[in-house]
Amino acid sequence: MSITANDPTRKTWLEVPENSDFPIQNIPFGVFLTRDDIITIGTRIGDTAIDLGALHQLGYFEGIPLTDDIFLQDTLNDFISDGKKTWRLVRNRIADIFDKNNGKLRDHEEHRKVVLFGLDEIEMQLPVQVGDYTDFYSSKEHATNVGSMFRDPENALLPNWLHIPVGYHGRSSSIIPSGIPVHRPKGQTKPKDADQPVFGPSKRVDFELEMAFITTDANHLGEPIPIDEAEDYIFGLVLFNDWSARDIQTWEYVPLGPFLAKNFASSISPWIVTLDALEPFRIESPKPEVELLPYLQSSGKKSFDIELEVFIQPENGEETKVSQSNFKHMYWNMSQQLAHHTVNGCPVISGDMMGSGTISGPTPDSYGSMLELSWKGEKPVKLNDGTTRTFIEDNDTVTMRGFCKRENYRIGFGEVSTKLLPVFEPKKK
């Protein structure tokens, strides 16, 4: 089935600001609370949010096999379970409804009133109930930087890294949408020259610039997903800030990997941009540097050219861009990650979230964490207001943005923006 929703020449009757991340060719999916306090599934064109539940009730999806309440839910999990064919039919239909030359909704004021919302009238929610969250470690530049800092620059990559998309199982209960602030975590650390650990606020709170993909029901227990089929089970992507406490991480991570340093929060952008919408921006992954085992050999353009930016904004100050990277730098692509994740028969279900790992590029201005940008605190990063940062300070806001670009054509993710609050203090009774 062709993806007519991607037609680059299509224009819409809705107003779309120049350089919007959300032209009619994007049609992402999200969940929002409306001005009437109703939760619904929706999409977005320009700065207009569109209530898909209302559109469905009014008959605009006639002919597409959908249950009556598919969009009247507080998560996208059931819609994602319907599978790729249905996602395509729905995106194509939305493109058709909002096509400049289609008067059906355009000229129906009563319908428009219940379907369309300004962004200031809605509140974005978490788009899926995340059953399981896995975080990979798939940027060679990031793994090399971290390995050089903490172990040995001569042997920065551990022997398995070029053979396995390394990952760990994270915690889904602390995945939150953009806009929800996060408290600086407390924890156990061991200062460099101390012989005993101490307890207190983390002094090295960091962001990790990542993207995450969201899956549909993919396989049963015991059944691996072949690498060539992996993309059929990927619904779409979001921006992902995997908050990290480096001092807690350094002390706790051997031998089982990160634990409390990572599970206090991970923030995501609220609109899921579908893999279909990203089709025009496919690009080849870096060539493997060693021969891969057959189940990990992928062919064709399996990566995507997505420009990524990170900004830090002090309280009451202006924001400073501190990093500029690209998803295409990932050494391991999503197909390899999903094939590897399931090769032992581990089941993946609708709403599972897979983080890419920190996306660092080859140059120092493209590193995806403060740990690397400030080289473990040795090179402070200068902000526009003259202050410097080695890690994130209380009341700083970290914002990540991402978009794909061709001449006159842009598909974006919006942003994930999170304020770091001081440590949590219990209210006095």
Active site residues: 142
Say if residues 182 and 267 touch (Cβ distance below 8 Å): yes
User: Does residue 231 bind Mn ion (CB under 5 A)?
Assistant: no
User: Does residue 208 bind Mn ion (CB under 5 A)?
Assistant: yes
Binding segment (CB under 5 A) for Mn ion, from list 2-10, 200-208, 230-238, 391-399? 200-208
Q: Which residue is nearest to Mn ion (CB)?
A: 242
CB of 135 or CB of 141, closer to Mn ion: 135
Of 106, 38, 105, nearest in space to 72 by CA: 38
Say if residues 413 and 237 touch (Cβ distance below 8 Å): yes
Total of chain residues touching Mn ion, rule CB under 5 A: 3
Tokens of 277: 């919408």
Minimum distance from CB of 282 to Mn ion (Å)?
Answer: 24
CB of 61 or CB of 332, closer to Mn ion: 332
Q: Which helix (H) or strand (E) holds 42?
A: strand 39-45
Minimum distance from CB of 365 to Mn ion (Å)?
Answer: 20
Task: State which of positions 161-180 bind Mn ion (CB under 5 A).
Answer: none
Minimum distance from CB of 236 to Mn ion (Å)?
Answer: 19
Task: State which of positions 127-156 bind Mn ion (CB under 5 A).
Answer: 135
Minimum distance from CB of 364 to Mn ion (Å)?
Answer: 20
Q: 38-67 mask for Mn ion (x: CB under 5 A)?
A: ------------------------------
Please give the Cα distance from 11 to 377 (Å, whole number).
49
Minimum distance from CB of 357 to Mn ion (Å)?
Answer: 6
**Residue whose entry in the numeric block shows the structure tokens 């997505």:** 306
User: Does residue 372 bind Mn ion (CB under 5 A)?
Assistant: no
Strands (E), 133-289: 133-136, 167-169, 175-177, 182-183, 186-189, 198-201, 205-206, 209-215, 234-241, 244-245, 266-268, 273-274, 282-283
State the distance between the two ends of the chain, measured CA to CA, in whole angstroms: 62
CB of 51 or CB of 247, closer to Mn ion: 247
Surface-to-core class of residue 208, CB atoms within 10 Å of its CB (0-12 exposed, 13-18 middle, 19+ buried): buried
CB of 54 or CB of 205, closer to Mn ion: 205
Q: Which residues contact 68 (CB under 8 A, 6 or more apart)?
A: 56, 57
Please give the Cα distance from 20 to 18 (Å, whole number).
5
Minimum distance from CB of 240 to Mn ion (Å)?
Answer: 8
Minimum distance from CB of 238 to Mn ion (Å)?
Answer: 14
Binding segment (CB under 5 A) for Mn ion, from list 172-180, 204-212, 218-226, 269-277? 204-212
CB of 132 or CB of 242, closer to Mn ion: 242
Binding segment (CB under 5 A) for Mn ion, from list 203-211, 215-223, 224-232, 276-284? 203-211
User: Does residue 242 bind Mn ion (CB under 5 A)?
Assistant: yes
User: Does residue 352 bind Mn ion (CB under 5 A)?
Assistant: no
Of 7, 80, 399, 373, nearest in space to 239 by CA: 399
What sections of 68-205 are H helices per DSSP? 77-81, 84-97, 103-106, 109-115, 140-150
Surface-to-core class of residue 347, CB atoms within 10 Å of its CB (0-12 exposed, 13-18 middle, 19+ buried): middle
Tokens of 408: 């006159």
Binding segment (CB under 5 A) for Mn ion, from list 12-20, 38-46, 234-242, 415-423? 234-242
CB of 136 or CB of 304, closer to Mn ion: 136
Say if residues 282 and 301 touch (Cβ distance below 8 Å): yes
Say if residues 3 and 88 touch (Cβ distance below 8 Å): yes
Tokens of 379: 């090179």
CB of 21 or CB of 141, closer to Mn ion: 141
User: Does residue 247 bind Mn ion (CB under 5 A)?
Assistant: no
> Which residues bind to Mn ion, rule: CB under 5 A?
135, 208, 242
